[in-house]
Amino acid sequence: MKTITIIGAGMMGSALAFPARENGNEVRLVGTHLDREIIDACRKTGRHPKFVKDFPAGITYYQIEELLDAIRGADFIICGVSSFGVEWYRDEVLPKLEENVPMISVTKGLMNTENGDLLTYLDIWQEKLDALGKKIPLNAIGGPCTSYELVAHDQTEVTFCGKDMDVLRMIKSAMATDYYHISLSTDIVGVESAVALKNGFALGITLTIGLNQKEFGIDSELHYNSQAAVFGQAVREMNKLLHLQNAGDFDNLVLGAGDLYVTVYGGRTRLVGILLGRGLNIDEAKAELKGVTLESLVVAERVAKAIRVKAEKGLINLQDFPLLMHIDEIITQKKAVNIPWEKFTFERE
C-alpha cells in the first residue's frame, strides 16, 4: 500500500482518486485555493460536486492551507491542476514538496518560447527545481481519458512518462486496475507533446459538426465524412509537429490520435468548436460557455505562435499546417470558419 497525495480537486485529479483508493492505497485529496467549495462538499457528502458517483470510502480531504500535512509521508504526489495553474503550482507548491518524493502530473499542455520552442510543463517545473537545488523525480500522464468515464470505470489505457523506469513502475503498481491500464515511456517530450497538440486540432474537427448544423439544422444527423477528413489532416499535422519536437515515434502519434478522438466526442473543446462552426465568433462562443475553462484554445494559440516563429526562421513551411493556421485565425483574429479543404489534398507517386 502507498500513500498518495493528489493536489488539485478538479475533475481529473479527483477522478484519479478512484483507482488510487480502490487499490487499497491511502489517498489524500488537496484542493487548491480555487477548490474550497469542492473540498467542503467532498467532506460533507463523500462525492465530488460534478460526479454522479461517491468517492471510495476512506479518502481524506484537505484545504490548501493543510498542504504540509497532506504531503507528509506521501510515497508520491499527483498534480491535478489545470494548465492555467502551472505557474501557481511552480511557485506555491513545488517549494513545499518533500525532497526525492516523485510527482506525476495529469496537466496537459505546452509553453511556447520567443525562439519558437515548445516546452512541456515538466520542463517549466524542472527549471524551478533546479533553481531551488531540489531533487524531485517529475513524471506525467498522457492519453485518451476523460474524468467522468474514468469514474464510471470505462476501460481506459494511458501512458505514464518519466526519466526513471523504476519510479514509473512503482507508480503504475499503485494505480493500475482492471479498468485503468498503464503503458510506460521514458520519452517525456513525446508523450507530453502528443497529448497537448491534439487540443487545437480537436477544435478543428468539431467545427464540421457546427457547420453541418448550420446548414441542415441543429437536430440533423451527424455527418462523418467531413469529421474524418479533418481528423486525417489533424493527425498529419500532429505528426509533423511531433517530428519538430524530435518526438516522432509512432507510439506517440498513436497516443495523440487516441486523445484527439476522445476529445472530439466529449468535453468543452467539442462545445466551443460546434458553436464556432454554427457561425459565432470566438468571443461570442466564450460568452455562450461562460464559466467553462477552455484550455484547448490556449494550447492551440501557443503552438501556432511557435511554428510561426520557426517559419520566419525558415525552419518550416506554414503551408504544411493549413488546419492549425486556420484554427489560429479563428481564435486570434476572429475570422469566420472556412475550412481549407483543398489544402488537405496531395499528390504522391
Res 264: pLDDT: 93
Read off the pLDDT of each residue in 313-331 and give the average, rounded to a whole number.
Answer: 96
309 and 329 in a single domain? The answer is yes
Residue 267's pLDDT is what? Answer: 75
| pLDDT of res. 170 | 98
Q: Is 29 helix (H, G, I), strand (E, B) or coil?
A: strand
Same domain as 205, residue 182: no
Domain boundary among the residues 155, 186, 217 is at 186
Domain identity same for 209 and 165? no
pLDDT of 291 over the 80 cut: no
- Does 151 share its domain with 239? no
pLDDT over 80 at 293, yes or no: no
Please check whether residue 265 is in contact with residue 204, taking contact to mean a CB–CB distance below 8 angstroms: no
> What pLDDT is recorded for position 269?
87
Instruction: Please check whether residue 290 lies inside any domain of the structure.
Output: yes
Q: Give pLDDT, residue 295.
A: 78
Same domain, 221 and 174: no
Q: Is 90 exceeded by the pLDDT of residue 181?
A: yes
185-221: per-residue pLDDT in tens? Answer: 999 999 999 999 998 899 999 999 999 999 999 999 9
User: Do 157 and 78 belong to one domain?
Assistant: yes
Beta bridge partners of 180: 156
**Per the structure block, which three cell numbers stand in for 28?**
489524500
Report the pLDDT averaged over residues 36-41: 98
Is the pLDDT at 294 greater than 80, yes or no? no
Rounded Cα–Cα distance for residues 336 and 106 (Å): 33
CATH of residue 62's domain is: 3.40.50.720
Domain contains 349: no
Residues 260 and 177 in one domain: no
Overall domain count for the chain: 2
Enter the pTM of the model.
0.95
Q: C-alpha 150: how far from its chain's center?
A: 15
Q: Are residues 237 and 177 in the same domain?
A: no
173 falls within a domain: yes
Q: Which range of residues forms the domain containing residue 137?
A: 3-186
Whether 58 has a pLDDT exceeding 70, the answer reads yes
Whether 256 has a pLDDT exceeding 70, the answer reads: yes
Instruction: Report CA dihedral (318, 320, 321, 325) to the nearest 10 degrees.
Output: 30
80-131 tens-digit pLDDT? 999 899 999 999 999 999 999 999 999 999 999 999 999 999 999 999 999 9
pLDDT at 297 over 90: no
pLDDT of res. 133: 97
Residues 215, 147: one domain? no
Residue type, 79: C
Q: Among residues 159, 142, 115, which one has the least CA distance to residue 313?
A: 115
39-53 pLDDT, tens digit per residue, is 999 999 999 999 999
Could you report the per-residue pLDDT of 263-274, keeping only the tens digit for each? 998 778 899 999
**pLDDT digit string, tens, across residues 227-240:** 999 999 999 999 99
Same domain, 181 and 209: no
What cell numbers appear for 227 in the block?
A: 469529421
Place of cell 487545437: 200
Q: Is 268 exposed, middle or buried (0-12, 13-18, 19+ CB in 10 A)?
A: middle
Task: Please tell me whether residues 252 and 283 are part of one structural domain.
Answer: yes
Q: Is the pLDDT of residue 292 over 90?
A: no
Q: Mark whether 27 and 111 lie in a shared domain.
A: yes
13 with 81: CB under 8 angstroms?
yes
Q: How far apart are CA 38 and CA 47, in angstroms?
A: 9
Which residue shows C-alpha cell 467522468?
148
